[in-house]
Amino acid sequence: MKKTVLDFAKMKKSGEKISFLTCYDFPMASLCEKAGFDMLLVGDSAGMVVHGYSGTIRVTMDQMIAHSEVVRRGAPNTFIVGDMPFMSYQLSVENAVYNAGRFYKEAEVDCIKLEGGRRVAAQIKGIVDAGMSVMGHIGLTPQSSGQLGGFKAQGRTAETAVEVIKDALAVENAGAFSMLLEAVPPEIGKIITETLNIPVIGIGAGMNTDGQILIIGDMLGFFEAFTPKFVKKYTNLSEIIGKAFRDYIDEVKTGKFPEEKHCYRMLDGEHEKLEAFLKQSNVK
Ligand code: KIV
């Protein structure tokens, strides 16, 4: 049974942690659903993990809709979050509501996520007022990492921590049903999780948040461009896939593949019939 925003509120109350992972394609979405994740994020990190961009800025609405749509098909019974890309919500509240609506109508997501605290409170309220569910995203916000001086942890001083806490309150007050908190010290993760009534899901925000999210390419070990400190690699698919590719190349070159068991033989007697025909018709 697909979870709903009410289930996530209950999980926060009962202390059951929320398991969350990014996902961008059909086969991984099917595997994620089979494994039993509570939520999947079709993140704009697709720009780096799937498209090979150096960041998330170039990602478009059409790319995000295409990824969200295939993830929905691969995981029809999982709560799916569509991530609003750079410049799909910053221009105006109307523009934000329109693009959030595209995620709902074209990809059947269960909620949308957007980055920022106080400065996008009006957009969050507008989208919620239009009947959609919103997940906030504060702390390190990759779409504005240029302004932050790079992909750096936030709230490491008392002064900057207060700013992060103000953003968290703004997201909750604007009507978001949950919030993603990225790259802050665990002390700040704890304060925000205890202060907010909505579930707070952390990535690099310590062990006290209501749930955890990782990027699929990081945790499976196939995203090689860089690995943030907060990542735990649960396997190393780059090595596993690399070995399979090298073995295949080697077997093709040496004629070890294919073997008899990989062949479709002709039906009994048909080969002889064909040879006779070819001989008679001077084809050979
Ligand atoms: O786009 C994304 O994958 C994110 C991560 C920080 C989880 O927002």
213 CA closest ligand 1 atom index: 7
Is 141 close to ligand 1, i.e. is its CB under 6 Å away?
no
* Residuewise pLDDT in 10s, the chain (284 residues): 999 999 999 999 999 999 999 999 999 999 999 999 999 999 999 999 999 999 999 999 999 999 999 999 999 999 999 999 999 999 999 999 999 999 999 999 999 999 999 999 999 999 999 999 999 999 999 999 888 888 899 999 999 999 999 999 999 999 999 999 999 999 999 999 999 999 999 999 999 999 999 999 999 999 988 889 999 999 999 999 999 999 999 999 999 999 999 999 999 999 999 999 999 998 76
Give me the DSSP letters along 236-261: -HHHHHHHHHHHHHHHHHHT-SS-GG
Write the CA distances from 160 to 152, 156, 263, integer angstroms.
Answer: 13, 7, 65
Is 123 close to ligand 1, i.e. is its CB under 6 Å away?
no
Is 39 close to ligand 1, i.e. is its CB under 6 Å away?
no
Print burial letters for 233-254: b (CB count within 10 Å at least 16), e (below 16): eeeebeeeeeeeeeeeeeeeee
Can you give the three-state secondary structure of 139-188, one letter per residue?
Answer: ECCHHHHHHHCCCCCCCCCHHHHHHHHHHHHHHHHHCCCEEEEECCCHHH
- The alpha carbon of 53 and the centre of ligand 1 are apart by a number of angstroms equal to 14
pTM score of the predicted model: 0.95
Query: Would you say 228 and 218 are in contact if contact means Cβ atoms under 8 Å apart?
Result: yes
- The alpha carbon of 46 and the centre of ligand 1 are apart by a number of angstroms equal to 9
- The alpha carbon of 215 and the centre of ligand 1 are apart by a number of angstroms equal to 7
